[in-house]
Structure 1
Amino acid sequence: MSSNMFSSQCEQIIQHLNHKIPGVNTAELCQRIQTSGIEINIGDLAKIANILSFLFSTAARNNLSTEELITTLGSATSTLPKHAVQVIRHIWNEQGKAIAVSEDGRNTVTVGQFIDMKWKLGVAMSSDTCRSLKYPYVTMTLTVADPSGQITDKSFEMTIPQFKNFFRQFKEMASVLETV
């Protein structure tokens, strides 16, 4: 991975840890890396993001200086590419101290964060077991950031009665929120 791509990933992780963005869009970054001609799969990139997130959050919790962070990496720096160590050093030196480590942050519940919702209406015309379905359905795609900051899409389909129930529950939530 190039220094620019690795740097971009590190910066996104720092922003996520600072609660400036809901998560790291690994899918988008993976596509950019693959477009540049580098072979990498999204699973490996997600592992790198998790490791970096752990590294930066642990360094922030322990209030490490840049040199202490690099020293703590110790033997790993001999296996890491030199440009990766330089990027980690630079990013931590420039932005690492900005990571807010609150006492409350250690006790927060680890749940995902809702980012976006898309829907579309479709009609199934036929299947291998039925020639004439004409069955309407709604497909929902939710974009969420999991607790580690990875952004993923979750999709599901609903029948029209299921969608009406879903809509009714959202209206109930909205009316409860108005009273708060």
Structure 2
Amino acid sequence: MPAAEESQGVSKVVDNICKLPPDLLAEACQNILTYLQGQARGVDSTEISDILQKAGVRIDHEALQNMIRFLLLTFRSAGKSSLSGDDLVSKLEGSHKWPKASLQVLHRLWSEHGALVHAQQEVQAMLSIGQLVDLQWKLGMAVSSDTCRSLNSPYVSLLLKIIEPSGQICHRSFEMTIPQFQNFHKQFKEMAAVMETL
């Protein structure tokens, strides 16, 4: 997307946000900030849409999704940069025309919740690990190996596809003897049982 079109798209999103009455903007932002503080599993756009519709504000699904994405990105960026409420408002004012009432809502909410969002981001950065997205395995017969005592021993070859915290996809492969694979399988079953209790 060319820069002019992208800027025009962002301006439209900002315009839609600015059309929201301050109380509804505050409620939508509160929903987003709750998620960014690790107190919710996600941002429920249906819930936000219901709140807006009950107040008589009609907005299509795509426009609402774009508003949520913009606010998520704005708050995440402010959290990573440890911006104060004043800094956030200055940054927003410099990029688009915002009504004073909208900026006051964003300033108040960020002043109240910004430190918690920043702390949650720090914790996530320390705990960030890759996410397993695919696991492939195949059974083979060893013709030569450093770990098998005798040739013609069966082995299991595993290929893991992992999305790293940076978003990059990497592949890891390794081989195991049948007893090693059985132990690996047992550990996976135990992990699954523990995860079901969470």
Select the residue among 11, 22, 42 that pairs with 2:61: 42
TM-score, normalization by structure 1 = 0.56
- Percent identity, please: 21
Q: Alpha carbon RMSD of aligned pairs, Å?
A: 3.0
Q: Report how many aligned residue pairs link the two structures.
A: 119
CA distance in 2, matches of 1:179, 1:31: 33
5+ residue gaps, structure 1, are: 112-171
Per-residue CA deviations over 1:112-131 (Å, capped at 9, x if unaligned) read xxxxxxxxxxxxxxxxxxxx
1:12 maps onto 2:12 in alignment: no
Q: Is the 8 A contact 1:26 1:45 kept in 2?
A: yes
Letter in 2 for 1:60: G
Shift of 1:175: 9.3
Letter in 1 for 2:114: G
Aligned equivalent of 1:94: 112
5+ residue gaps, structure 2, are: 1-19, 133-187
TM-score, normalization by structure 2 = 0.52
Shift of 1:69: 1.2
Alignment of 1:1-180 (within 5 A): 1-78=20-97, 80-99=98-117, 100=119, 101-102=121-122, 104-105=124-125, 107-109=128-130, 176-177=192-193
Shift of 1:33: 0.9
Q: Is the 8 A contact 1:77 1:85 kept in 2?
A: no
